[in-house]
Amino acid sequence: MNGSVSKNYRHMVTAGVPRRSILLPVVILLGAVTALGSPPAIVAHVSVEPDVVEPGEPVTYTIRIPGVKSLSPPDISFPSGLQPLGPPSREFSFRMDNRGQHTTTSFRYRLLPAEAGEFSIGPFSVTQRGMEIHIPAVRLKVVGSEQDTASATTNAPPPLFARVSISPAHPYVGQWCKITIELFHRSIELADEVQILDLPKKGTTLTPFHELTSQRRAVGGRVYEVRRFRGFVRFSAPGEYQFTPALRVQVIVPPQRRPRPGSPFGFPFFPDFADFFFEGVQTQPYVVQAPQVSIECRGLPEEGRPEFFRGAVGSFTLDVRVSPTNLTVGDPITMTVTVSGTGNVETVTLPAYSPGKTFRVYEAKLIKKDFSPDGLSGTKVFELVAMPTTTNVTSLPPFRFAYFDPEAERYRVLQQGPFPIHVSGQMPSTPPSEYGTPTAESHKILGEDIIFIKSKPGHLLPVARLRPAFWIRLVWINTIPLLALLVSWYFSRRLATMGDSALRKARAPAAARKALKEAEKQLKQGHAEEFYRLLWNAVSTYFSETLQLAPGQVSTDLIIHKMQEIGIPQPILQSAMTVFDRIDTIRYAPREQQKPATKAEMRRDLIQIRNILIQCRRAGV
């Protein structure tokens, strides 16, 4: 019986081996199929612009999905209080590089905030065409309501003010400080040009200011457009410095009616004179004073200061090259010293180099300098010469450079060397002419370089004989009317042979100007809906003619994209997006959710549309 049990057991073990060998590959195959069958995950890029608004002010929620195309708009469930304005728009973009072609599909949703609060849109996860798309969350801040705004009117900041900040607040002498000047404005349209005034000059070094990307911020329960300007300053002596900058801005005001000069040839021959087609935008200068900011500059510490420190402040690197290394007594050794870094590079000098009595050293000479446009960083290259006076030297002593690190608040020392050299032979009796006194043979007097005064000036003519004859002047006078007729005929022929696309582009300004005049009539009568309809008619007509499109093919997204392509400045783009959002609100939002526009707002929008068309015309569109 025991034998049968052992036999059956061996049979089961033997039979179980192939079952396991079959089961294991099946499990691995099923896992691979499951892994391959899971849809690839794609992370979309999300943005909302602007991200700080008031109730009734539209925003644009954009989803950008890289690497795919031919997708349907994701079905997004927006939070309560954010109402979509019509269906989303879809755009495709392509980019080529050395890795191939890259495709991005973008969806833009217009949203109308109906109440105040902070909204989180997302995250979402959708699946299309076997791909899982993750849409991250983005936040939108809606500031106050009409009741809150009315109650906070007495405590609200003015519609135009400025602020200034300096970092760090307690710098060291020679340390660069970052200056940020912010210009806040609300319900006021400003021109591009801004001048910064009343900056301290004594004891300071200032870099030019450049404008950063504009922002939106909530101040006192209201939303302000913020233009930011960035510059840098360093101080040459310790003490207290006062900053009270002022900004001279140009406030856009409604244009005054004035007669316009006529043209003998008609407007198609002057496409570059945008002011001929549209009414000019008038501005009024205004100075905005920023509050005073005090800065306490500290002197460099005495503790730990090296003897060879020469005032360098920042962060630096040192490179020293020596040539030649095999030489004879009295031959020059050239040391090329390169100092690079960030800080007061312009004032960097080398310390005195003292290799000892066995060398004769000449003063260092600056041979090259290269600074960044803002002057915050750069490189200086110096050259100094040392001569060995004996053969009993085997190396050139190390070179050291010290600077003060304001971040660590300590001195640092850079060192390179010693540099091995081989000196042989004896010092020549006559030093090289490069470093000694020039010999008499080096000067050669040339007598051929003297130009003598002519004793006989030659044949002279009376001045009257140099004047043109009477018949020549008569021909020129009679030619001027003929040339004018030829120019007029040429332009007439050009107009007659002009193609359909050129004709459409030529008549675009006139059509836009006509719609703007009609809109101004509706403004005087206070008809907001008809006013904004005519504004959009002017814009869509202009771009449909210049871009050779049907009026129904023109959208706000297309216009913004075209303005970005031609390099329209960012402030004008922000103004365009604000006006287009208000137009979309009037066109699509229900009447009960529309924020009524005042005549001042309507006139400002009219000026902005004129300015947008002028800028586009000047840019060649």
Q: What are the DSSP calls for 349-407, one per residue?
A: -PPPP---TTEEE---EEEEEEE-TTSSEEEEEEEEEEEE-SS---EEPPEEEEEEETT
* In a domain? residue 3: yes
The pTM of the whole model exceeds 0.85:
no
* In a domain? residue 269: no
- Whether the per-residue pLDDT at 341 is higher than 80: the answer is yes
For residues 117 and 81, give the distance between their C-alpha atoms in angstroms, rounded to a whole number: 9
pLDDT band at 7 (very low <50, low <70, confident <90, very high): very low
What integer is the mean pLDDT of 530-552? 81
Range of the domain at 486: 471-496
**Inter-residue contact 539 to 531 (CB < 8 Å):** no
| Angle of the 528-546 helix axis to the 570-588 helix axis, nearest 10 | 120
Q: Quick one: 246 and 162 in the same domain? A: yes
Q: Quick one: 324 and 422 in the same domain? A: yes
State pLDDT tens for residues 497-510: 555 666 667 778 88
* In a domain? residue 504: yes
- Whether the per-residue pLDDT at 438 is higher than 50: the answer is no
**Inter-residue contact 49 to 213 (CB < 8 Å):** no
* In a domain? residue 373: yes
Task: Name the percent of the chain lying above pLDDT 90.
Answer: 23
* In a domain? residue 270: no
Structure tokens at 597: 């526009």
Q: Quick one: 377 and 361 in the same domain? A: yes
Burial of residue 396 (CB within 10 Å: 0-12, 13-18, 19+) is buried
Q: Quick one: 337 and 241 in the same domain? A: no
For residues 130 and 76, give the distance between their C-alpha atoms in angstroms, rounded to a whole number: 19
Q: Quick one: 373 and 338 in the same domain? A: yes
Q: Quick one: 29 and 54 in the same domain? A: no
Q: Quick one: 55 and 177 in the same domain? A: no
Of 433, 456, 480, which residue is a domain's last?
433
Question: Chain-centre distance of CA 389, in angstroms?
Answer: 57
With H, G, I as helix, E, B as strand and everything else as coil, classify residue 152.
coil
**Inter-residue contact 380 to 338 (CB < 8 Å):** yes
pLDDT of residue 184: 93
pLDDT of residue 33: 45
- Whether the per-residue pLDDT at 265 is higher than 80: the answer is no
For residues 228 and 7, give the distance between their C-alpha atoms in angstroms, rounded to a whole number: 91
Of 496, 513, 530, which residue is a domain's last?
496
Say which residues have a Cβ less than 8 Å from residue 383's Cβ, sequence separation at least 6. 334, 335, 336, 337, 364, 365, 367
Q: What is the dihedral of CA 440, 442, 445, 448, to 10 degrees?
A: 160
What integer is the mean pLDDT of 233-258? 84
Give the bridge partners for 383, in sequence order.
Answer: 336, 365
Structure tokens at 271: 């496409």
Q: Quick one: 48 and 166 in the same domain? A: no
What integer is the mean pLDDT of 473-482? 74
Half-sphere CA count of 140, side-chain side, radius 13 A: 30
For residues 476 and 426, give the distance between their C-alpha atoms in angstroms, rounded to a whole number: 84
Of 433, 453, 488, which residue is a domain's last?
433
State pLDDT tens for residues 71-90: 888 888 888 888 888 888 88
DSSP conformational letter for 258: -
Q: Quick one: 284 and 322 in the same domain? A: no
Instruction: Write out the DSSP string of 403-470.
Output: EEETTTTEEEEEEE--EE-EEES---SS--TTTSPPPGGG----STT--PPPS-------GGGGSPPH
* CATH code of the domain in which 534 resides: 1.20.120
* Helix H or strand E segment including 224: strand 222-235
**Inter-residue contact 196 to 209 (CB < 8 Å):** yes
pLDDT of residue 2: 44
Q: Quick one: 222 and 248 in the same domain? A: yes
Q: Quick one: 131 and 206 in the same domain? A: no
With H, G, I as helix, E, B as strand and everything else as coil, classify residue 254.
coil
State pLDDT tens for residues 318-328: 999 999 989 88
pLDDT band at 462 (very low <50, low <70, confident <90, very high): low
